[in-house]
């Protein structure tokens, strides 16, 4: 019988995870299969118990379960506990351990684009949701020079900085303050859903004050290039799309499950094919 893996979420029908993981299982000649599992909020505990009962070897966890799933696990990795969210569960003989590959996946995706060490860079994260928390924690562990957080609700940015308990300096900012200070940053990261359909022309902040050559990334991967990214390029910035983070977080999950790092290029080709090659 094939080893069974999957993704749990609500909704989950749009996920490209089955395509990239099943292709990677085939490439690595592993007898395994990956499925989508739609799990309503009130059925999360039953789903996790079912994972044990059915011997499912591992799952990815997506919206809205990343935070609530911690209560049903036997162990939670230290970094995932700091983030307060799990996106990967490993089943070892009925013992379930939670990990979070979002932040580490983001760091892997930007490494080829860094012109200087993170310790020498000032970073601005736009947004204060789960993705922002994961990326903030990963950047803090990497001893980034400074990490400021900008959000419409400034208190949420303050909470992430406070709860991470890092020695890395950083400020909570309003979106207006972020626009004013934009020229201070060498790395700007857009983590909100602004720029996705149906509001494809919207941007979270104005880039009027950005410095040419700044590295700008957007974790949205559909569309591959958001209006925010296109604006940054027109202003002479270097850009990183959200495809890299999506691929690397999946690849790190794959490694937790199998001990094997999958072929990144194969994963990327599957994603780009699904996105229509744009």
Catalytic residues, by residue number, are 66
Angle (CA) 185 187 192, round 5°: 110
Does residue 16 have a known ligand-binding role? yes
Q: Strands, DSSP E only, in 74-190?
A: 75-76, 88-92, 95-99, 122-126, 146-150, 172-173, 187-190
Does residue 127 have a known ligand-binding role? yes
Does residue 278 have a known ligand-binding role? no
Does residue 155 have a known ligand-binding role? yes
Does residue 17 have a known ligand-binding role? yes
For the chain, the distance separating the N- and C-terminal CA atoms, rounded to the nearest angstrom, is: 38
Does residue 87 have a known ligand-binding role? yes
What are the strands of the beta sheet with 95-99, ordered from one edge?
A: 32-38, 3-9, 58-61, 88-92, 95-99, 75-76
Does residue 136 have a known ligand-binding role? no
Does residue 255 have a known ligand-binding role? no
Does residue 62 have a known ligand-binding role? yes
Cβ atoms 146, 210 nearer than 8 A: no
Residue 261 phi/psi, 5° resolution?
-85, 120
Rounded distance, CA 181 to CA 198, Å? 29
Rounded distance, CA 218 to CA 55, Å? 37
Does residue 206 have a known ligand-binding role? no
Rounded distance, CA 177 to CA 144, Å? 21
Does residue 153 have a known ligand-binding role? yes
Does residue 219 have a known ligand-binding role? yes
Does residue 41 have a known ligand-binding role? no
Please report where in the chains the tokens 């979070």 appear, as a residue: 100
Of residues 89, 189, 184, the one with CA closest to residue 136: 189
Both tokens of 133, joined, read: 């928390």
3-class secondary structure, 137: helix
Does residue 242 have a known ligand-binding role? yes
Dihedral class, residue 36 (left if φ above 0, else alpha if ψ from -120 to 50, else beta): beta
Does residue 152 have a known ligand-binding role? yes
Cα separation values, 121 from 149, 177, 184, Å: 14, 19, 10
Please report where in the chains the tokens 């207006």 appear, as a residue: 176
Does residue 131 have a known ligand-binding role? yes
Q: Write out the binding residues for shikimate.
A: 15-17, 62, 87, 102, 221, 249
Q: Write out the binding residues.
A: 15-17, 62, 87, 102, 127-131, 151-156, 219, 221, 242, 249
Q: Write out the binding residues for NADP(+).
A: 127-131, 151-156, 219, 242
């Amino acid at each position: 019988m094939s080893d069974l893996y999957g993704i749990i979420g609500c909704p989950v029908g749009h996920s490209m995870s089955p395509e990239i993981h099943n292709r990677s299982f085939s490439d690595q000649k592993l007898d395994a299969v990956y499925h989508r599992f739609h799990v309503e909020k009130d059925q999360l505990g039953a789903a996790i118990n079912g994972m044990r009962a059915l011997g499912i070897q591992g799952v990815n966890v997506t919206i809205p379960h990343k935070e609530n799933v911690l209560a049903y696990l036997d162990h939670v990795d230290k970094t995932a506990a700091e983030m307060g969210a799990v996106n990967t569960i490993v089943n070892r003989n009925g013992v379930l351990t939670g990990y979070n590959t979002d932040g580490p996946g983001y760091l892997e995706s930007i490494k080829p684009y860094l012109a200087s060490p993170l310790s020498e860079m000032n970073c601005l994260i736009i947004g204060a949701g789960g993705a922002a928390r994961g990326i903030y924690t990963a950047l803090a562990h990497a001893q980034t020079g400074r990490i400021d957080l900008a959000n419409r609700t400034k208190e949420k940015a303050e909470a992430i900085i406070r709860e991470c308990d890092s020695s890395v300096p950083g400020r909570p900012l309003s979106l207006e303050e972020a626009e004013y200070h934009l020229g201070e940053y060498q790395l700007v990261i857009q983590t909100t859903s602004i720029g996705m359909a149906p509001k494809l022309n919207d941007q979270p902040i104005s880039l009027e004050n950005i410095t040419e050559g700044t590295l700008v990334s957007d974790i949205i991967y559909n569309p591959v290039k958001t209006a925010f990214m296109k604006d940054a390029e027109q202003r002479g910035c270097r850009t990183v799309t959200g495809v890299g983070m999506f691929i690397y977080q999946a690849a790190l999950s794959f490694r937790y499950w199998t001990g094997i790092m999958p072929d990144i290029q194969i994963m990327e080709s599957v994603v780009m094919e699904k996105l229509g090659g744009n």
